[in-house]
């Protein structure tokens, strides 16, 4: 049962991902779908950040007091943090544009429910 | 229909807090090299201070202080600073965005010129992020002419 | 319709959990993400750039071109919101 005890953090990320995924495909309100997309992206960001951790290491800011040359084993991996800064910015951008598109849909159809919009288009 | 909510306590508290939030945002941008922070984080804090002003009062109060034309100029100037620093490095003989060539322009050694280049682009990124946060929020939260009462959050009078 | 969605979600979740058997465990210093170019960034960041914060030096100096693209992304998002929502009087 080693693979349950040491890997349960991935199971939490998969749970969050599946909650977001179900919101994207199972709900009828368009705003709830966009919120589901947001939850999905947040779980991906959490997963990437957790990859870069190391046991007994400190935050990736070089301290003067640790003595000696900087060793890579004392600091956690900074690269997932960098990539996830970009991912957070992309998340905010897609959320803003999705909300603007929803405002345009509301102006055109006067409703936000998906089945009513499909009925009006037919 | 949501009616706008005016409260003396909220307005006074926000009026007292907002300068300190903006000062903290500038601190986070400027200390991106020493402590956790940087351009994106400080820019979001600055944008959030304007959004707080818009929530405590109404959106016209923010538009009086930062007009939409000035907001767009902020947005473009931030990106222009970023690519401008890269173009200056290109003109001085190095690669694009190779900040160590800036030591021909400033009286520092090539390694410290990289730190100054990093600070310059953090300022540019912070300006762009602050302007875009405020612009997206004001666009989404303002009332439009042909819609009913339901879409406005009561922030425009 | 919701039943179909629930079944699809459970299947996907089960497949992903089956895929986590091969993942590195929490806090492993020898995981593949920390091996190739990341030790070089950690060890050389104070002597090549004078900046102690490794995240800022990687974001703004070693990978500065990607940050330019990202700033363009958020600029474009602001522009599209303006173009979609505001009505310009003719």
B155 pLDDT above the threshold of 70: no
Task: Give me the domain span that covers residue C55.
Answer: 35-90
Angstroms from B3 CA to nearest CA on chain C: 23
pTM above 0.80, yes or no: yes
User: Distance between terminal CA atoms of chain B?
Assistant: 14
Question: Are B1 and B149 within 8 A, CB to CB?
Answer: yes
Distance (Å, whole) CA B124 – CA C64: 13
CA distance linking residue B151 with residue B115, whole number of Å: 47
In chain C, the percentage of residues whose pLDDT exceeds 70 is 98
| DSSP class of B2 | P
Domains of chain A by residue range: 2-55+72-121
Residue B154 has pLDDT above 50, yes or no: no
Query: Is residue C75 in a domain?
Result: yes
Interatomic CA distance for residues B130 and B124, integer angstroms: 10
Q: What confidence score (pLDDT) does residue C6 get?
A: 94
Number of C-alpha atoms within 13 angstroms, CB side, residue B13?
8
Contact of A39 with A56, CB cutoff 8 Å: no
Closest CA to B132 of B57, B77, B53, B65: B77
| C23 within some domain | no
Is residue C86, in this structure, part of any structural domain at all? yes
pLDDT digits (tens, 9 = 90+) for A80-100: 999 999 999 999 999 999 999
What digits encode the pLDDT tens for the residues B18-50? Answer: 999 999 999 999 998 889 988 999 999 999 999
> Does residue C9 fall inside a structural domain?
no
pLDDT confidence band for B145 (50 / 70 / 90): low
Query: For chain C, what is the domain count?
Result: 1
Partner residue opposite C53 with nearest CB, options B32, B112, B128: B32
CA distance B42 to B39: 5
Return the sign of the alpha-carbon dihedral for residues B41, B46, B49, B54: negative
pLDDT band at C90 (very low <50, low <70, confident <90, very high): low
Q: What is the pLDDT of residue B2?
A: 47
Any idea which fold A2-55+72-121 has?
Helix Hairpins (1.10.287)
In a domain, C15, yes or no: no
Q: Which residues pair with A113 in a beta bridge?
A: A29
Who contacts B6 (Cβ-Cβ below 8 Å, separation ≥6)?
Answer: none
Assess if residue C53 is contained within a domain.
yes
Among A50, B84, B114, A45, which Cα is nearest to C62's? B114
**Residue C5: count of CB within 10 angstroms of its CB:** 16
**C29/B contact by beta carbon, under 8 A:** no
Rg for chain B, CA atoms, rounded: 20
Percent of chain B past pLDDT 70, that is, above it, reads 89
C52: which chain B residues are within 8 Å (Cβ-Cβ)?
A: 33-34
Q: Is the pLDDT of residue B150 over 70?
A: no
**pLDDT given for residue C36 in this prediction:** 87
- Out of C9, C27, C33, whose CB is closest to A55? C27
CA closest to B142 among chain A residues: A103
What ipTM is given for this predicted complex? 0.85
Residue of A nearest to B43 (CA): A89
């Amino acid at each position: 049962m080693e693979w349950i005890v040491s890997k349960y953090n991935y199971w939490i990320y998969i749970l969050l991902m599946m909650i977001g995924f179900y919101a994207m495909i199972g709900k009828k309100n368009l705003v709830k779908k966009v919120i589901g997309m947001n939850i999905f992206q947040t779980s991906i960001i959490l997963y990437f950040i957790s990859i870069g951790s190391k046991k007994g290491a400190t935050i990736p800011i070089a301290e003067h007091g640790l003595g000696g040359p900087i060793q890579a084993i004392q600091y956690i991996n900074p690269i997932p943090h960098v990539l996830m800064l970009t991912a957070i910015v992309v998340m905010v951008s897609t959320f803003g544009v999705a909300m603007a598109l929803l405002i345009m849909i509301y102006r055109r159809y006067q409703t936000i429910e998906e089945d009513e919009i499909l009925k009006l288009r037919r | 229909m949501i009616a706008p909510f005016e409260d003396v306590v909220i307005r006074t508290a926000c009026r007292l807090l907002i300068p300190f939030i903006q000062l903290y945002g500038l601190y986070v941008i400027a200390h991106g090299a020493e402590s956790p922070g940087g351009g994106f984080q400080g820019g979001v804090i600055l944008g959030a201070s304007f959004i707080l002003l818009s929530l405590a009062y109404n959106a016209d109060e923010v538009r009086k202080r930062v007009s939409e034309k000035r907001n767009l100029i902020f947005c473009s100037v931030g990106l222009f600073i970023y690519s401008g620093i890269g173009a200056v490095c290109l003109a001085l003989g190095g690669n694009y965005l190779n900040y160590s060539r800036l030591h021909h322009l400033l009286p520092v050694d090539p390694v410290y010129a990289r730190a100054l280049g990093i600070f310059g682009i953090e300022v540019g990124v912070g300006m762009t992020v602050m302007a875009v946060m405020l612009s997206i929020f004001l666009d989404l939260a303002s009332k439009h002419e042909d819609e009913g009462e339901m879409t406005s959050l009561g922030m425009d009078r | 319709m919701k039943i179909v969605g629930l079944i699809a979600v459970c299947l996907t979740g089960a497949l992903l959990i089956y895929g986590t058997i091969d993942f590195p465990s929490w806090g492993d210093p020898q995981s593949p993400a920390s091996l190739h170019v990341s030790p070089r960034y950690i060890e050389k960041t104070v002597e090549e750039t004078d900046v102690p914060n490794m995240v800022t030096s990687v974001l703004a100096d070693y990978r500065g071109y990607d940050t330019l693209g990202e700033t363009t992304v958020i600029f474009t998002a602001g522009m599209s919101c303006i173009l979609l929502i505001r009505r310009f009087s003719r």
